[in-house]
Amino acid sequence: MSLDTADGDEEGSEPSKGQTARVNRRTTAISPGTRRGIEYVGLGITGLLALLMFVFVAFDWLQTLPGTLGSFGTAGFEQYRSTGRWLDGQLGTRVFQHAFTLRAIATGVLVGIVGPLVGTFLIHRQMALIGETLAHTAFAGVAIGIVAIAFTGMAASQENLVLVALVVSAVAALGLQWLTSRTNSYGDVPIAIVLTGSFAVGTLLISAFRDRIAIGIEIEDFLFGDLAIVTAQGTRMVALLTIAVVALIVINYKQFLFITFDEQAARVARLNVSGYNSLLIVMTAVVVVGAMQILGVILVAGLLVIPAAAASQLAGSFRETLYLSVLFGQLSVLGGLGIAIGWSLAAGGSIIVVAIAIYILAVLLSGRSAASLSIH
């Protein structure tokens, strides 16, 4: 398989017979041109929203600096809070004026982009459980962070716990790939072992050391997610990780596409398949840790998988699947946060329920039979 044909009906390439059949099974109520226009408008709005969130994060950081830069950052940050107060006045709420709400929204918007992007590659490689597994390793990372705080004198803060979780999750991701490549068991056996083992280790460490240190964050917040635990440092970390992940996907798009659809051919072509697999799984770990603050360990995999699965029901090419997955991810995050804030519900559960509703709607609109629901 060449890189050109791997992407189906991308511009400049002809779809295969099987791909044409899958496209024809979809509803044709909207013309292709109109549909593509809607997608581009949605992507433009998403890009503008992401840019606004990056600017907010920049102001939030600048206000911590002394001198002119600090004053500039404070002025910009207060402008966002003023917008939040205006929004509160329009909606009759008292939440958007608070800094932690704005940081939570910024974090949600950014992980709503990178989560589905990485998830699209995962589900097309039948690796949907990888996100769930790495979420559990991130929980073990939080537990290891608690132990590190207890014995090293590290500051007992949420930022340090997330940083340790990021490192542990990335190392565990590489370890999982190594274990999978060297076991004779079925492919999902190492995943099950790492998933349950990491959660078991986290549980043991927390039960042993939780009462020995004073930290103002409940472990349950990491299990189920909580808007209140999203800090300025955590939001900045997510912003930097978002830039890094998107840049890596753009730079290595053709290589990721090649190994996704024909890994054996990629090996024959002497592509560094192992290296790109490692890169993909580490990016997944990064996204998981970033999204864990809002969604929690238990639900974080849903943001990787569900929007991408919904996009696969409707898309006519892999690139369109990426576009739609980002749009569905944003709808899930913004809709879920709106429900959570409006009705005082858990943000993680609200986001995933909205994502599932979008997925069900996509299945109904796709016109596919049960036998044609494959995302390949």
Each residue's pLDDT tens digit, 130-155: 888 888 888 888 888 878 877 777 77
pLDDT at residue number 11: 43
**Which structural domain, as residue segments, surrounds residue 69?**
34-372
CATH classification of the domain holding 112: 1.10.3470.10
State pLDDT tens for residues 97-122.
999 999 999 999 999 999 999 999 99
pLDDT at residue number 39: 93
State pLDDT tens for residues 221-257.
777 777 877 889 889 999 999 999 999 999 999 999 9
pLDDT at residue number 189: 80
Q: Is position 48 within any domain?
A: yes
Query: Token pair of 171, please?
Result: 């190392």
Query: What is d(CA 362, CA 34) in angstroms, rounded to the nearest whole number?
Result: 18
Q: Is position 343 within any domain?
A: yes
Q: Is position 17 within any domain?
A: no
Q: Is position 141 within any domain?
A: yes
Query: What is d(CA 221, CA 168) in angstroms, rounded to the nearest whole number?
Result: 19
Of 193, 188, 201, give the one whose Cα is nearest residue 143. 201
Query: What is d(CA 280, CA 362) in angstroms, rounded to the nearest whole number?
Result: 27
Per DSSP, the three-state class of 358 is helix
Query: What is d(CA 84, CA 342) in angstroms, rounded to the nearest whole number?
Result: 14
Q: Is position 307 within any domain?
A: yes
Of 369, 365, 298, give the one whose Cα is nearest residue 328. 365
Query: DSSP secondary structure string, 281-325?
Result: HHHHHHHHHHHHHHHHHHHHHHHHHHHHHHHHHH-SBHHHHHHHH
Overall number of domains in the chain:
1
**Side chain identity at 214, as an amino acid letter?**
A
Length of the chain: 376
pLDDT at residue number 215: 60
Q: Is position 1 within any domain?
A: no
Query: What is d(CA 259, CA 273) in angstroms, rounded to the nearest whole number?
Result: 7
Q: Give the phi and the psi of residue 31 in degrees, each rounded to 5.
A: -65, 155
Query: Token pair of 286, please?
Result: 């990064």
Contact by Cβ (8 Å): 131, 119: yes
CA 213 to chain centroid: 31
Query: What is d(CA 1, CA 264) in angstroms, rounded to the nearest whole number?
Result: 10
| pTM of the model as a whole | 0.85
Burial class (CB in 10 A: 0-12, 13-18, 19+), 374: exposed
Q: Is position 200 within any domain?
A: yes
Q: Is position 14 within any domain?
A: no
Contact by Cβ (8 Å): 327, 46: yes
pLDDT at residue number 18: 43
**Side chain identity at 359, as an amino acid letter?**
Y
Query: What is d(CA 222, CA 229) in angstroms, rounded to the nearest whole number?
Result: 9
Q: Going from the first residue of the chain to its last (376 residues), give the mean pLDDT of each consecutive group of 10, the final group possibly shorter.
A: 44 43 48 88 96 97 95 96 94 89 94 95 86 87 82 73 86 85 69 87 82 65 78 92 95 93 89 90 90 87 94 92 96 94 89 96 76 39
pLDDT at residue number 156: 65
Query: What is d(CA 47, CA 42) in angstroms, rounded to the nearest whole number?
Result: 9
pLDDT at residue number 27: 43
